[in-house]
């Protein structure tokens, strides 16, 4: 499909046209295919599509509903989460890293989902959600090398079967001294989107990022959040089993009397040893 050209593309769209490459051979592209290997792709407005993955599991469908708020169930879940969430983030590490790279820095989020952290952030995701600039497998990122000041992997690497391949791609597209931000679960229940392959300890993150010049690991959601989430999840699975309306209602019911306990992370998360039973960890690595 040929592109729907815009006469006045945004700076983000103009940058993408400059740095986008064929995921198969890294060759330059015309409006329909790779110039070098002739691999086809499609354009839908300003969205480049090298993948069009179906949402074919109950977990993935549920996640899509909550991302977009496209159903009553998704809207109710988002409303409930805003009121009785099991998560407490005592310090927003992602906001901190974004402030280190003000515009016109080049920031790429791999596995962005249906959100945009900032207007200048380039979003890449397997699914062609709204706000996704490039629909692609993130183990083969269709961007040329050394173009990004910062790469973000927020709650993503647990959902890919080969996280090392994603990290290698992040390293490839980063400029020298660029930074990779990873946020991922440790003590967190299964959540398939489209699958959930692994959680990470501090040691696991440091090993995953061993080819970077430095790596700092900190707690994102602490032990209190882990306990609250695991307790509510256990109750929901016992009563409802799979994700769905009954699961959502059971988890909300379980959270009502205990969700406030998450605020004990104001104590736990400041302790270096909190990583041992943290709900989520983050890593900031420098190329």
Q: What is the pLDDT of residue 2?
A: 35
Q: pLDDT tens across 64-104, in order?
A: 667 666 677 667 666 667 667 888 888 899 999 999 999 99
- 140, 23 Cβ separation under 8 angstroms: yes
Exposure letters 116-153 (e unless 16+ CB within 10 A, then b): bbeebbbbbbbbbbebbbbbbbbbebbbeeebbbbbbb
Q: What is the DSSP letter of 34?
A: B
Label residue 243 by pLDDT band (50, 70, 90): low
Residue 4 in this model has a pLDDT that exceeds 60: no
Domain-wise residue ranges, the chain: 51-286
Mean pLDDT of 165-174: 98
Share of the chain above pLDDT 90, in %: 60
Q: How far apart are CA 163 and CA 181, in angstroms?
A: 14
**pLDDT per position as a tens digit, 26-77:** 999 988 888 989 988 889 889 999 987 665 556 666 666 676 666 776 676 6
pLDDT recorded at residue 174: 98
Six token digits for residue 157: 């690497």
- Between the alpha carbon of residue 39 and those of residues 25, 61, 262, the distances in Å are 9, 29, 50
Three-state DSSP at 236 gives: helix
The confidence score (pLDDT) of residue 1 equals: 35
Average of per-residue pLDDT across 15-30: 92
- Give the pLDDT mean for 217-239: 93
CB atoms < 10 A from the CB of 161, how many? 10
Question: Is it true that domain 51-286 has CATH number 3.40.30.10?
Answer: no
């Amino acid at each position: 499909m040929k592109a729907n050209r815009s006469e006045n593309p945004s700076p983000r769209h103009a940058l993408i046209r400059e740095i986008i490459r064929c995921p198969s051979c890294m060759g330059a592209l015309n409006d329909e295919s790779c110039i070098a290997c002739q691999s086809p792709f499609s354009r839908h407005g300003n969205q480049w599509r090298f993948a069009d993955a179906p949402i074919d599991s109950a977990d993935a469908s549920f996640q899509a509903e909550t991302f977009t708020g496209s159903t009553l169930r998704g809207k109710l879940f988002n409303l409930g989460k805003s009121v009785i969430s099991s998560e407490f983030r005592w310090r927003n590490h992602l906001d901190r890293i974004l402030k280190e790279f003000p515009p016109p820095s080049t920031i790429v989020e791999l596995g962005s989902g249906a959100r945009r952290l900032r207007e200048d952030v380039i979003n890449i995701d397997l699914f062609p959600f709204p706000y996704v600039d490039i629909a692609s497998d993130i183990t083969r990122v269709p961007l040329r090398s050394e173009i990004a000041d910062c790469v973000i992997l927020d709650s993503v690497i647990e959902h890919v079967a080969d996280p090392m391949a994603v990290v290698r791609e992040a390293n490839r597209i980063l400029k020298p001294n660029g930074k990779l931000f990873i946020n991922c679960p440790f003590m967190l229940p299964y959540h398939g989107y489209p699958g959930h392959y692994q959680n990470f300890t501090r040691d696991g993150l440091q090993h995953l990022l061993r080819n970077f010049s430095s790596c700092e690991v900190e707690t994102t959601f602490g032990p209190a959040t882990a306990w609250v989430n695991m307790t509510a999840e256990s109750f929901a699975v016992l009563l409802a089993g799979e994700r769905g309306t009954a699961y959502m209602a059971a988890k909300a019911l379980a959270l009502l009397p205990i969700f406030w306990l998450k605020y004990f992370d104001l104590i736990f998360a400041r302790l270096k040893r909190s990583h041992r039973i943290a709900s989520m960890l983050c890593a900031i690595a420098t190329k």
